[in-house]
Amino acid sequence: MRDTAAREGDRTAYTVVMPNGMYGDLSFAEVDRLSDAFAAWLREVAGVQTGDRVALQTPNSLTVPVVAFGVFKAGCVLVNVNPLYTAAEMAHQIADAGPKVIVITDMFCDKLAEAGRSVPLPRVVVTRVAELMPRPVRGVIGLVQKHWDRSIPAIPFAHERLPEVLAEGARLPRKAYDADLSETAIAVLQYTGGTTGVAKGAILTHRNLLMNMAQAMTFINPHVAPGKEVVLTAIPTYHILAFTLNLLGFFHLGARNLLIPNPRPLSNLKRAFENYPITWIIGVNTLFNGLMNEYWFTDNPPRHLKASFAGGMALHGAVADRWHSLTGTEIVEGYGLTETSPVATGNPIGAARRGSIGIPMPSTDVRLLDEDGQDVPPGTPGEFAIRGPQVMQGYWNRPDETSAVLCAKGFLRTGDIAVMDDDGYFRIVDRKKDMILVSGFNVYPNEVEDCLARHPAVQECAVIGVPDGAAGELVRAYVVLRDPGVTEADLRAHCKESLTAYKVPRQIHFRDDLPKTNVGKILRRSLRDEALSQMKGA
């Protein structure tokens, strides 16, 4: 961070772009100076020590790099907290991670107060979405939030404000709190598994993050023009994909990060595309698909774009094809997990293969395993297992869960089913737990979803299995339509052209929208739980 700041100086590092076009900037030098101040406050005023945890709960804002980098400089451990968490989820993470300090955006303080009724709260520093932006911008946004949106609750607990904290820290002498840190020191507790069970903290070290950043940058570096790169950060930076690639990686490249506090609705991105020469986008399938359903985007697609990266969920071939036709650029699909910091594989720019997650990152080994942990024959689907310098050290305070996924010789079992082609490119068949069993035959939801997505009337879709007596399960699809005149029969006929009969959805439910995570990943589990609940009720 210090080396990058010294090299880039007063060039703009981060820009927050509001839906109305208002913005605020921080230069590389300012990020360095302010994060120094936060580190000094943590150590000298808050009294935290090396290895103590500091939680950060905020949407994309200028607060994020200042606090995150300050935590690292203080020799502490950053705990990223999803602002959309319920009070119960917040209480669980606070109890589990045991942070000494939490920095939280004022909009979410009511939930923190509720969480505080079940767990002791750490020292609280309150920030704002418009923090560190120009005074007139802060004033306008503050008035809108307070009087129009009424989104700022009263704060019923003791707290400090981030500007005062930074001012206090700036008056303290600089010290090298991180001087004794080794590369194996914990940098981040990144919580995962909240959609499939109790959230647990993946232990990511400084080496994990630095190596994964370097691995991913080998794919990007050949296409970088120094001082001219602009990356759109619509994915929240508390998500590991945006944290490693955007917040860290593109900072290291000297790029300008456009931070979008809330990408929903997608019209919130309009001014960012209009006002800045965006060269890179990192997102998920639903982001790219959604942008192509916005008239302002299709009427004036980005002219400076070099490539886009997709992760977090399967990229549908129909979306990739349409994106290339519209923008003249490719979406490069990769694969990763929170537990791999997150990037494990990726498609080289200019040599990407549709439907593939690419090849392993440098210094990364991959195996495909059967149920007994043995390697499957070439061309056969097997569970994806990964070993490399980006693989986590384990789960925080959960040795049993750690041993369940980290097997012999350091390989991480992912729970995803993949297959490798003759050239070493991998394709994810599906999540092991999402696989549907129809009369003894395996059906992978990704394949059915990709087929449905190629129908021009389908805006987005999700496929699950539901119980079906002697047959085991049947295939059910949930579909959001662009054209309401399309029927179930139309979609089944479309699927029969490409899929074996047992893979064709027997049930198709039309919806106005689909449940998604904070980064836009469709939640199959929520649909499955809903379906099972309805069946029990019937």
CATH number at residue 473: 3.30.300.30
Structural domains of the chain, count: 2
In a domain, 161, yes or no: yes
Question: Which pLDDT score is estimated for 194?
Answer: 43
Q: What is the pLDDT of residues 422-450, one digit of tens each?
A: 999 999 887 777 888 887 677 889 889 99
**Is a pLDDT exceeding 70 seen at residue 147?**
no
* 120 preceded by a cis bond (ω within 30 of 0): no
pLDDT band at 515 (very low <50, low <70, confident <90, very high): very high
- Using DSSP's 3-state secondary structure scheme, residue 24 falls into strand
Average model confidence (pLDDT) across the chain = 93
* pLDDT top residue among 174 and 458: 458
Percent of the residues in the chain that have a pLDDT greater than 90, as a whole number? 79
- Among the listed residues 256, 279, 272, the one whose alpha carbon sits nearest the alpha carbon of residue 10: 256
Least confident interval from 115-129, 195-209, 225-239, 410-424:
195-209
Does residue 323 carry a pLDDT above 50?
Answer: yes
Amino acid letter, residue 165: V
Q: Would you list the DSSP string of 97-109?
A: H--SEEEEEGGGH
Confidence (pTM): 0.87
Residue 386 sits at φ, ψ, to 5 deg, of: -130, 140
Q: Take residue 417 and report the two structure tokens written for it.
A: 């089913």
Confidence of residue 197 (pLDDT cuts 50, 70, 90): low
Q: For residue 56, what pLDDT band results from cuts at 50, 70 and 90?
A: very high
| Single-letter amino acid, residue 289 | N
Least confident of 48-62, 192-206, 256-270, 393-407: 192-206
For residue 134, the model assigns a pLDDT of 93
SS3 (DSSP) at 87: helix
Average pLDDT over residues 403-429: 91
Per-residue model confidence (pLDDT) at position 192: 86
pLDDT digits (tens, 9 = 90+) for 355-372: 899 999 999 999 999 988
Q: How far is CA 188 from the centre of its chain?
A: 15
pLDDT at 20: 93
Residue 318 pLDDT more than 80? yes
Contact 58, 103 (CB under 8 A): yes
Q: End of a domain among 162, 181, 200?
A: 181
Q: Are 85 and 56 in contact (CB under 8 A)?
A: no
DSSP secondary structure letters along 445-500 = HHHHHHHHHTSTTEEEEEEEEEE-GGGBEEEEEEEEES-TT--HHHHHHHHHTTS-
Task: Identify which of 217, 196, 267 has the alpha carbon closest to the alpha carbon of residue 20.
Answer: 267
In a domain, 67, yes or no: yes
SS3 sequence, 425-454?
Answer: CEEEEEEHHHCEEECCEEECHHHHHHHHHC
Q: How far apart are CA 446 and CA 304, in angstroms?
A: 31
Confidence of residue 195 (pLDDT cuts 50, 70, 90): very low
Q: Is the pLDDT of residue 5 over 50?
A: yes
In angstroms, what CA-CA distances link 497 with 9, 315, 317?
Answer: 58, 21, 16
Which residue, of 149, 181, 213, is where some domain finishes? Answer: 181
Long-range contacts of 175-183 (CB under 8 A, 24+ apart): 175/40, 175/43, 177/39, 177/43, 177/50, 177/73, 177/74, 177/75, 178/72, 178/73, 178/74, 178/75, 180/50, 180/75, 181/50, 181/75, 181/206, 182/206, 183/207, 183/210
Domain assignment of residue 157, yes or no: yes
In a domain, 148, yes or no: yes
Residue at 11 is within a domain = no
What CATH number is attached to the domain comprising 115? 3.40.50.980
Asked which of 181, 216, 247 is the last residue of a domain, the reply is 181
Q: Which amino acid is at 320?
A: A
Position 538 scores a pLDDT of 63
What's the half-sphere exposure (Cβ side, CA atoms, 13 Å) at 319? 30
**Inside any domain, residue 55:** yes
**Per-residue pLDDT at 521:** 87
Asked if residue 135 is part of any domain, the answer here is yes
| Distance, CA of 53 to CA of 46 (rounded, Å) | 12
Alpha-carbon span 326 to 332, nearest angstrom: 15
Give the whole-angstrom CA distance, residue 493 versus residue 504.
9
Could you tell me the residue range of the domain that residue 460 belongs to? 435-537
Any domain includes 188: no
The mean per-residue pLDDT over the stretch 181-192 comes to 95
